[in-house]
């Protein structure tokens, strides 16, 4: 018996479904987007066990998803809506994760571009870390990769939104037994910065399977005495136009001017983004 695809329309606001193989299906005339695939060989620099043999395909990035009638508005605001799907697997003893990156800064700003995520299927651990910023320079330009000033882990479930504030690098981890599908809004046109995480073999902590069915956080020894993890929950982000009971895609079209923080982070106050666990 064939396993049916999981419909994601109710939670995403778009006619998409998740196939049993962890691929997106585009329905009801929604323009199809071919994914960029992150493979094991692309990830070896950031893995706990770089010599792991599987899985080959680790996650799929569907960038620039939009209804045809919505494309002019997203383009006029300079934003992009993506969906990323991480397979449920172990890479050695480490759970599947994204490569991790920082963002550059808008011209004339001392803050880097932020981003916002929403879990559509499965469960996510978002690991964020902030480093010292030399005077007058953005985190992505003058990062000291040896010791982060702060490490935060936010665990999010279906329908929950997580904001990545300016000057934080971030990694997403799938520690579940199901695929993790997550959406995001981000400013379009910039290039993410992967080098700081690659230089340090990943983030300051790895999430591992302890061999007994439990998870454990393991410090990355390349970092110099990183701070302990601050565990947090998603906060109420209504002040950013991110309504709790409305899919992330629809939040933008409900009030597009409220998303100005994605392009001009210095014009906004970045408080109340997380709640301590």
122/6 Cα distance (integer angstroms): 11
Mean pLDDT of the chain: 93
Tokens 């071919």, located at residue? 34
Residue 134 has pLDDT above 60, yes or no: no
Between 191 and 147, the higher pLDDT residue: 191
Confidence category of residue 144, pLDDT binned at 50, 70, 90:
low
Residue 84 has pLDDT above 80, yes or no: yes
**pLDDT tens digits, residue range 21-32?**
889 999 999 999
Average pLDDT over residues 148-152: 94
Instruction: Indicate the domain borders of the chain.
Output: 14-276
* Per-residue burial over 148-184, b = 16 or more CB atoms within 10 Å of its CB, e = otherwise: beebbbbbbeebbbbbbbbbbbbbbbbbbeebbbbbb
Per-residue confidence (pLDDT) for residue 276, from 0 to 100:
86
Per-residue confidence (pLDDT) for residue 27, from 0 to 100:
97
Per-residue confidence (pLDDT) for residue 136, from 0 to 100:
38
Which has the closest alpha carbon to 156: 177, 130, 175? 175
Q: Are 172 and 119 in contact (CB under 8 A)?
A: no
Task: Say what percent of the chain tops pLDDT 90.
Answer: 84
**pLDDT tens digits, residue range 192-227?**
999 999 999 999 999 999 888 889 999 999 998 899
Q: Are 131 and 139 in contact (CB under 8 A)?
A: yes
Tokens 């935060």, located at residue? 152
Average pLDDT over residues 55-74: 97
Confidence category of residue 140, pLDDT binned at 50, 70, 90:
very low
Q: How far apart are the first and last CA of the chain?
A: 42
Spell out the CATH class of 14-276.
Answer: mainly beta
Which has the closest alpha carbon to 36: 61, 63, 64, 66? 61
Its pTM stands at 0.94
**pLDDT tens digits, residue range 156-198?**
999 999 999 999 999 999 999 999 999 999 999 999 999 999 9
Residue 1 has pLDDT above 80, yes or no: no
Tokens 């990035």, located at residue? 61
């Amino acid at each position: 018996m064939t396993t049916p695809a999981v419909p994601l329309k109710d939670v995403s606001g778009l006619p998409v479904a998740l196939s049993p193989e962890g691929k997106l299906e585009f329905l009801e005339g929604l323009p199809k987007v071919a994914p960029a695939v992150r493979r094991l060989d692309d990830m070896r620099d950031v893995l706990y066990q770089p010599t792991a043999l599987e899985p080959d395909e680790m996650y799929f990035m569907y960038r620039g998803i939009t209804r045809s009638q919505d494309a002019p508005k997203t383009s006029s605001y300079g934003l992009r809506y993506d969906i990323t799907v991480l397979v449920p697997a172990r890479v050695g003893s480490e759970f599947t994760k994204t490569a991790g990156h920082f963002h550059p800064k808008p011209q004339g700003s001392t803050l880097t571009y932020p981003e916002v995520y929403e879990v559509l299927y499965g469960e996510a651990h978002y690991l964020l870390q902030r480093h010292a910023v030399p005077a007058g320079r953005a985190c992505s330009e003058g990062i000291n990769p040896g010791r982060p000033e702060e490490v935060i882990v936010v665990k999010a479930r279906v329908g929950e939104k997580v904001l990545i504030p300016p000057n934080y690098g971030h990694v997403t981890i799938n520690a579940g037994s199901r695929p993790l599908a997550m959406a995001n809004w981000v400013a379009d046109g910039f290039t993410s910065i992967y080098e700081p995480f690659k230089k340090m073999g990943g983030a300051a902590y790895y999430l591992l399977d302890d061999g007994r069915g439990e998870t454990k956080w393991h410090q990355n020894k390349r970092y110099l005495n990183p701070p302990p993890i601050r565990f947090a929950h998603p906060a109420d982000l209504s002040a950013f136009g991110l309504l709790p009971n409305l899919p992330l895609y629809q939040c933008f079209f409900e009030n597009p001017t409220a998303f100005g923080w994605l392009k001009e982070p210095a014009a906004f106050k970045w408080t109340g983004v997380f709640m301590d666990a």
